[in-house]
Structure 1
Amino acid sequence: MKNTPLPDDVGRIRAFNRTLTRRLGVLNERYLGRDRPYVESRLLFEIGADGATARELRQRLGMDSGFLSRLLRTLEARNLATTQPSAADARVKAVRLTRSGLAELRKIDALSDKLAQSMLDSLDESQSQRLVAAMAEVERLLRASSVEIAPEEPDGAGARHCLDRYFAELDARFPGGFDRSHGHSSDTSDYRAPGGCLLVARLFGEPIGCGALRTLARGVGEIKRMWVSPDARGLGLGRRLLCELEQAARKHRMRTLRLDSNGTLAEALRLYRSAGYREIERFNDNPYAQHWFEKALR
């Protein structure tokens, strides 16, 4: 369900953005007193000590390839970074910091810590705690607002990543482990159009969650493979995925949705019950299922 912000809400967000960018000094051509603007310093940080690929940098920073290429050329000209074909795949550009780049990164980190401390120095203890708590909440909500959910092919890289993590978590959490050969767990053909779909949630380009829908019978669908990365839990993503799957089911002219779950997945059981799913008798032969649910769609 889309949220319609009030005009005052939009104004407050814009005011917050203006205050934040000014306080952080990101509008200064010499960010943190160094000989470069904020965007170049941020790129050094994202490359980091371990390096990164150009594709990863584009995803993390939301940059187009042309702008990123220009920034990388600037860093290379200053002997702060190098860009070379990856040893694993020559089509992939691997970016690494030089010795000078690593030294500069350490300086930037120290200056960033000093800037953060300066935000607390003029506040009393109570105000400092309120500011840090508010920043943590804003950061969490901004991450939640940055998540994008879209259908993907079940054999796509993002879908495979999520499904592999999903099965690995079941194997770790179920008392007797999880065998993917049972219950047609490796069969994803039902999650393709026109009978179903598979949704993948991404945060800054990285897959962090999934959910699938398949047809059980005419007008009846089943939700499968609901998973959210532990790093993304607490963002309301499970509920968003569930709502998106219900919307997809309506488009498939499904009037009823069913799903099953295991008793060890307490958070999933709470989600389904709070979303209006009621427990019913067993409707499948899934050997790992202990609870069965159904919901009539409106």
Structure 2
Amino acid sequence: MDSTLVARVRRFNRTVTHRIGALDDAYLARGRPLGQCRVLWEIGDGGSEVRALRARLDLDSGYLSRLLAALRADGLVEVAAAADGRVRTVRLTPAGAAERDELDRRSDDLATDILAPLDEAQRGRLVTAMGEVERLLVASMVRVAPADPDGPESRACVEAYAAELAARFDGGFDPARSIPAAGALMLVASLHGEAVGCGALVPHGSWAAVKRMWVAPSTRGLGLGRRMLAELEATAATRGVRTLRLETNRALTEAIALYRSARYREVPAFNDEPYAHHWFEKDL
């Protein structure tokens, strides 16, 4: 990694943490650190499962337990376990809800304080830049890893993939008619503990088929499709695969544009996939 880029990211981090008061042990003058305030906000009006809260915030279970214990001692949250003891939930008490409302008000004041010294053009530039930074930071938090093709994350992705194809294809989509991805190596992308994309490799000796490429609507625009394709290519190369092939439907214009921009060339049909109109190939 370029050391200059690393240094600029570190400088940005220092500026942001200083400007928003993240270093203060009494964030927004409320007598508690930023971590506790963030957890209060994330719990929300309807409460949350503790494990879901941990996944959304990417927190170590021990650290989150300490945060919740401090909030509970202050009378701001209630933590309860289900009958089987495996699922814990956390809810705001009335005092916790009032504290979160006050934190919201003070957070608005902080945002106003950041914007106030700037002129209109500078405010627009700052907010636009913040939007781009946020988008790229979210993209950097996505993790892509091998997954069990029969595991719950893989199944959830493939079901969402099939549902989208059924909605977009002329005449719908029936997975039973499509060529199966038997023996596939599955990669799943996850964000905050939730599966948000997938792709599969089906080996055929010296070549492999790319199948089940899908990205959740909530993460589109983050470059995840291109990243997933690159991860599949790298995985194939480590296994001695020399050529990748794939087919796609004419309705999937975004996918077709992605494959062409990634230097896949269109070739004659190499299988009898009933839903395909375009076939592509790339030498690794």
Name the TM-score, length of structure 1 as normaliser: 0.91
How many pairs are equivalent? Answer: 284
SS in 2 for 1:263: coil
Q: Please say if 1:234 is aligned against 2:229.
A: no
Whole-angstrom distance in 2 between the partners of 1:175 and 1:85: 48
The residue number in structure 2 matching 1:122 is 117
Q: Please say if 1:244 is aligned against 2:240.
A: no
TM-superposed CA distance for 1:60, in Å, is 1.9
TM-superposed CA distance for 1:79, in Å, is 1.6
Q: Which moved more, 1:174-183 or 1:15-24?
A: 174-183
- Of 101, 106, 111, the match for 2:101: 106
The residue number in structure 2 matching 1:61 is 57
**CA deviation profile, 1:188-208 (whole Å, cap 9, x unmatched):** 5421xxxxx100111222211
Code of the aligned partner of 1:199: L
Whole-angstrom distance in 2 between the partners of 1:171 and 1:135: 36
The residue number in structure 1 matching 2:48 is 52
**CA deviation profile, 1:87-116 (whole Å, cap 9, x unmatched):** 6x6411111112221221111112111211
RMSD over equivalenced CA pairs, Å: 1.4
The residue number in structure 1 matching 2:126 is 131
The residue number in structure 1 matching 2:92 is 97
Matches within 5 A, 1:126-165: 126-165=121-160
Name the TM-score, length of structure 2 as normaliser: 0.95
Contact 1:282 1:291 in 2 (8 A): yes
Code of the aligned partner of 2:87: V
Identify unmatched segments of 5+ residues in structure 2.
none
| 1:67–1:242 CA distance, 2 compared to 1 (3 A) | same
Code of the aligned partner of 2:196: I
The residue number in structure 2 matching 1:180 is 175
TM-superposed CA distance for 1:184, in Å, is 4.5
Whole-angstrom distance in 1 between the partners of 2:17 and 2:64: 21
Whole-angstrom distance in 1 between the partners of 2:258 and 2:99: 47
User: Which runs of at least 4 in structure 1 moved beyond 3 Å after TM superposition?
Assistant: none
Percent of aligned pairs with the same amino acid: 53
SS in 2 for 1:253: coil
Whole-angstrom distance in 2 between the partners of 1:81 and 1:42: 13
Code of the aligned partner of 2:275: Y
